[in-house]
Structures are given as structure tokens and as C-alpha cells.
Chains A and B, each alone.
Chain A
């Protein structure tokens, strides 16, 4: 019984930190800063392809370095294909301003495109600074968490198995009837 308790508590003692590591360290935000250039001309645009790590939320800011208004868009793959083909398209996010912020919480896309166009001044080149934050998986912490969790789970299973075995053995030794009994009661 003592061994069972010790094993059971040890199993939990491994599983709880495993879950804490998983939720606190295995996924952490990584900030990236990029500059997107736009060539002169009304038809020009600049774009940046962002891998969303299987669909992580993305948020960030943009800022035109010259201070001129720009059109900033966040497009998914289909929308970007339509945009590049110069046909009518929608966007996940769009705004016209010299600077601003964007955030997409529920992401159903593997990758997205940050697209910028000049909104007012087309004769000179433009540069836009984009900063965005993505949740990335840390494989070391993930592996550590999974290993601890598995080890804890195995210890708990073993504890339950030994406890059950002890109970079965106790029941066997307590029971006086092990085979079919024919009572010899008189009528």
C-alpha cells in the first residue's frame, strides 16, 4: 500500500510539471522584423510570405518609413493568387495608413502573405517595416514534456496495476469458495 501511494504520487509529480512545461515553455512567441520594399509605380507591390507553423495566430505592426500612407493587406494563399493575377479578391485584413497594427487570432491557413502597396505617392520607392509575432514550438521543451508525461503515466499505470493485483490476491486468499460447491443439505 505504501509503495502504491509512493508510486501514484510520483507519477503525478512527474505529470504535473510535464503539463506546466508544455503550456508554459513548449510554445512561445517569436518576434520577427522584416522590411518590405515597393518599387515605384501604381502597379507595384511588395509582399512577404509567412509560414504560420501549421496555423498559429499572428499579430504585429507595420510602418511606412517615409510616412506616406500605404495599403497593408494580410491575404491567405487563395487570396494572394487572385491578387497576383490582378482579379477581384478579398483579404483577411486590410488598412490604409502610414502605420498600424494587425491581429488574426483564429487562423485556418498554413501560410499567409503580408502585402503592401503605395496608397498616395507612386513616383518613388517605398519601404515598409513589418514586425510580427508568431507562436513557435520549442522541440526541446516539447520532447522533455512528453517524456516526463509518459514516464509519469507509466508509473501511475504500474501503481494501479500492482494495487489491483494486491486486491485480487487478497480477495483470493479471503475467499473460502474456490470451486463449485455441492451442499449436502437434507430435505
Chain B
């Protein structure tokens, strides 16, 4: 049976590599989570490009340019340094809400059977913040609603076998 897309979390901030914060988009399917990372635009090297030379072209497959509704899921999983978390490898998934900000942590085994932990905070994209603010919502409410939607999406996607190890925040 083909892998089915359940949804997309358009922005999450995660700490995975060398203690650095990185933004990612999380494609949620019925089999796995795929965390697609943004290109490291904040580096000094990239920052200086365009000052002394031609503006660097964006990578052709930068996450903002990917159509997640159509992209080949396997290709996305193989792309760059994206993190793939199959549900069968999940030992524990925990959702927390601190001061209305939702975050999740996953303990899973990678392909080499090594236990890894990945955490991410559900931070709404800037465009959503602006849009909702224009509708009269305050920042805290927007972040909370966004986090709840992310939680709802994960609830829908995770199979019951994995859900046994999941702590949901109400």
C-alpha cells in the first residue's frame, strides 16, 4: 500500500546539530515523520555572498520551494540532511506545552539501530503570525492554536501501536 500524506507542519524550530537552532518543515505521513531543514542562511559565508559577488542562488530544492502535496516522499526523505523518523522505530514521543508553546520530543532508533532524540518547538511561520495578528489575535493565542493543530496532526498520523508510547498534552 502506498504511503499516505497526512499533513504538514510548515515551521518548527529544532535543536539537532551542534546545539544550533534550525528551522524545519515536518511532513507527516502514515508511516513516518520527515523533517526537512532550511538551508543554513545565517552563516557568515552565505551572509557575505552578495556583498562581494553575485547573490548566491537558492538551492533548487530549498524547503520553501517544495510542493509537499506533490513531492515524492522517498525523494524528500533522501534529500540533504533531512531527518526521517519511521513510526515503528519510535520508542517514545512526548508533547509538552510550556507557557502555551508546544514542543515535542521523539526518542527513536535510526537505521544503524542507534537511539537518538530529536526535539522541536512548534513556532508558527512569520506569515501566519502576521496574518492572524491582522485578524485581531495576539501572539500567544496564535502560537497556542498552531501548537494544538500540530498536536492534532500527529494524533491523526500516529498508528495505535506507537501511540501507546506517546504522552499527549491536553
A-to-B contact residues, CB < 8 Å: 1, 4-5, 8-9, 160, 163-164, 167-168, 171-183, 185-187
Contacts and interface: CB of A to CB of B under 8 A. Distances in A.
Contact of B125 (A5, A164, A178, A182): A178
A123 B126 CA distance: 90
Contacts of A4: 50-51
Contacts of A173: 127
A187 B50 CA distance: 47
Interface stretch (B3-11, B93-101, B133-141): B3-11
Contacts, number: 72
B33 to A, nearest CB: 14
Given A172-B130, A177-B8, A181-B68, 18 more contacts: A8-B51, A168-B126, A172-B126, A173-B127, A175-B125, A177-B10, A178-B125, A178-B128, A179-B10, A180-B7, A180-B9, A180-B146, A180-B149, A180-B153, A181-B8, A181-B69, A182-B7, A186-B4
B146 A176 contact: no
Interface in B94-151: 124-128, 130-131, 146, 149-150
B37 to A, nearest CB: 14
Q: Is the interface of B mostly helix, strand, loop or mixed?
A: mixed
Contacts of B55: 1
Given A8-B51, A175-B64, A177-B25, A183 B6 contact: yes
Contact of B10 (A9, A167, A178, A185): A178
Interface string B148-159: 011011001000
Given A177-B8, A177-B68, A180-B8, A160 B47 contact: yes
B18 interface: no
A176 B44 CA distance: 28
A185 B3 CA distance: 10
A181 B50 contact: no
Contacts of B51: 4-5, 8-9
Given A8-B51, A9-B51, A171-B64, A181 B128 contact: no
A173 to B, nearest CB: 8
Interface of B: 1, 4-10, 25, 41-42, 47, 50-51, 55, 64-65, 67-69, 124-128, 130-131, 146, 149-150, 152-153, 156
Given A180-B8, A182-B153, A183-B7, A174 B64 contact: yes
A43 B51 CA distance: 71
11 contacts: A4-B51, A168-B126, A172-B130, A175-B64, A179-B124, A179-B149, A180-B7, A180-B9, A180-B10, A181-B8, A185-B5
A175 B10 contact: yes
A38 to B, nearest CB: 62
B127 A175 contact: yes
A185 B5 CA distance: 6
A70 to B, nearest CB: 59
8 closest A-B pairs by beta carbon, nearest first, are A180-B149, A177-B10, A181-B8, A183-B5, A172-B127, A178-B127, A175-B64, A182-B7
A179 B10 CA distance: 6
B35 to A, nearest CB: 14
Given A178-B127, A182-B156, A187 B1 contact: yes
